[in-house]
Structure 1
């Protein structure tokens, strides 16, 4: 996956990775994961253990903000296979200089980008198009006993969701605590 660029955020850890697409009259081809290229780019070498896909029929479908607590903490590598999403993440590492800060990015199937979100972040996204398909790799298997979340619309997070009043969402995502009441299981390690 020859990496064309790596963009970082004001919050240390996450990265937006743009991969090269080689095209001809048939369309294009892209390597979406290569440990060799990942390490050359200075990104952390992760061991991906599970691939997931999530389909959302309606625009405004919102998933998150989720995390898994240690020892089942997950880093994620997110890409959009069809459609477009607004992707947001929040630093929930106790002791981090950016604890509670959020960042966001738009990802689309047309852009050839992947978002790397390390463990220690609450993560979620909102679909911007009908029939959106998202794929992501994770570094730990799904462990329901380790699930956690952060209230997606907590104003303390300063996330400018594009469709705040028109969401399709799982009922439990309305019940996660806000940042002030979150008992984070993560600790910042510089």
Structure 2
């Protein structure tokens, strides 16, 4: 595994080594000892997956507040997505900044998202499938996030924005959120 830091502190792009032969491919999504060596979370309590049917659809930008703040490990296992992280940590030097990583099933890469950083993505292909590991269970009472189309964030979505859930359209702007105190 190759673990490369992103510009948002505590976030990483993780690229697996792919072993291929005439039967297909094999790669490792997670390795406890490798993550521990890099000081990353090794305790996952929930494993989720999503399917986004339509190219251009946007999900996010989501997070959970303490005491149920979560670390996420996200990988695209079919298709490709424009994955976006937004730093919402109160004392972070990159508060309010975003970064993107193209997650592509053919690249076998993943993104590690620390506490206090919102996550979302735009499907670059039809039928984009993601898997997620979470360090904390889903707790609706502490969920939050920011709007995908907030002009203060000015996220440069690569495709015209297609479907967005009513719930995600109702997320607040960056200027009206409570920054995450960790």
TM-score by length of 1: 0.91
Structure 1: tracts of 5 or more residues without a match: none
Deviation at 1:48, TM superposition (A): 0.5
Checking the alignment, whether the CA contact within 8 Å between 2:41 and 2:71 is kept in structure 1 is: no
* 2:4 aligned with 1:7: yes
Deviations 1:79-111 (A, max 9, x none): 011000000011111021111111111111000
Q: Deviations over 1:44-65 (max 9, x none)?
A: 1331101000011111121100
1:178 corresponds to? 173
Runs of 4+ in 1 over 6 A off after TM superposition: none
Q: Secondary structure at the match of 2:34?
A: helix
Taking the aligned partners of 1:120 and 1:185, their CA distance within structure 2 comes to 6
**1:145 aligned onto 2:141:** yes
Which secondary structure state, in structure 1, belongs to the residue aligned with residue 42 of structure 2?
A: coil
Match among 147, 158, 165 for residue 162 of structure 1: 158
1:118 and 1:31 mapped to 2: Cα distance?
20
Aligned residues, how many? 182
What are the residue-to-residue correspondences of 1:44-63 with 2, within 5 Å? 44-63=40-59
Mean CA deviation greater in 31-40 or 46-55: 31-40
Report if the CA contact (8 A) 2:57-2:163 is conserved.
yes
Aligned pair partner of 2:63 in 62, 67, 72: 67
Tell me if 1:76 matches 2:62: no
Tell me by how many angstroms 1:23 deviates.
1.0
Aligned-residue offset at 1:39: 2.3
Structure 2 residues without counterparts, runs of 5 or longer: none
CA shift, 1:166, in A, is 3.3
State yes or no: 1:39 paired with 2:10.
no
